[in-house]
Amino acid sequence: MPHQPIFEQVEGPVLVSACLLGIRCRYDGRSRTRRWILKLPHIIPVPVCPEQLGGLPTPRPAAHLVGGDGRAVARGRATVSTASGEDVTRCFLSGAGYACKIARILGVRYAILKEGSPSCGTHRVWVRNESQEGLGVTAAMLLRLGICLMNEDGLMI
Ligand code: SF4
């Protein structure tokens, strides 16, 4: 487990990117397991994969943001696309909406999210083929709810 004091402050039900909890929900059908999250003493991890919740299959084509980060997508000023040009914005927004609904039902105050994802990224995302500072679509919508976001390395926003 990374020695990040921030994780000691986290308590209660915590929304966690499902791929970080060993669920094989990534676009390539794999996970990015961080077992230590399950060992945090004061949390109830709630696994959520917004892309699956939005109706996308697993595995699925990788997607990237177009025209801005997740905040811009949530405002209708940017989109999400696969490499072949399929517009999957609606699925990303739908999944983000469900993640927010789950957070509200459970009274979630914290989320630990997978960095770099067009849904879950908290500090960096791929806009076309460039890694840029920004938020994924779900991260942006959770932040609007006032949820404290951090990535798997404890970087907080
Ligand atoms: S949408 Fe989030 S939870 Fe789902 S695979 Fe991507 S990073 Fe993991």
Q: pLDDT for 100-129, tens place per residue?
A: 999 999 999 999 999 999 999 999 999 998
- State the closest ligand 1 atom to the C-alpha of 47, by its place in the atom list counted from 1: 3
Rounded distance from Cα 51 to ligand 1 centre (Å): 6
Write down the pLDDT at residue 7.
81
User: Residue 37 has what pLDDT?
Assistant: 93
How would residue 6 be classed by pLDDT, with cut points 50, 70 and 90?
A: confident
Query: Is residue 1 predicted with pLDDT exceeding 90?
Result: no
What's residue 2's pLDDT? 59
For ligand 1, mutation pick of 16, 26, 46, 58 (most atoms within 8 Å of CB): 26
Closest CA to 10 of 98, 101, 113, 100: 113
**Predicted pLDDT at 9:** 82
CA of 134 to the centre of ligand 1 (A): 16
pLDDT single digits (tens) 48-87: 999 999 999 999 999 999 999 999 999 999 999 999 999 9
Strand partners, 148: 110
What are the residue boundaries of the structural domains of the chain, listed by start? 5-151
Q: Is the pTM of this model over 0.85?
A: yes
Tell me which of 157 and 149 has the higher pLDDT: 149
State in Å: Cα 18 to ligand 1 middle.
6
Q: How many whole angstroms separate alpha carbon 28 and alpha carbon 93?
A: 21
Residue 29 clears pLDDT 60, i.e. is over it: yes
Does pLDDT of 151 surpass 60?
yes
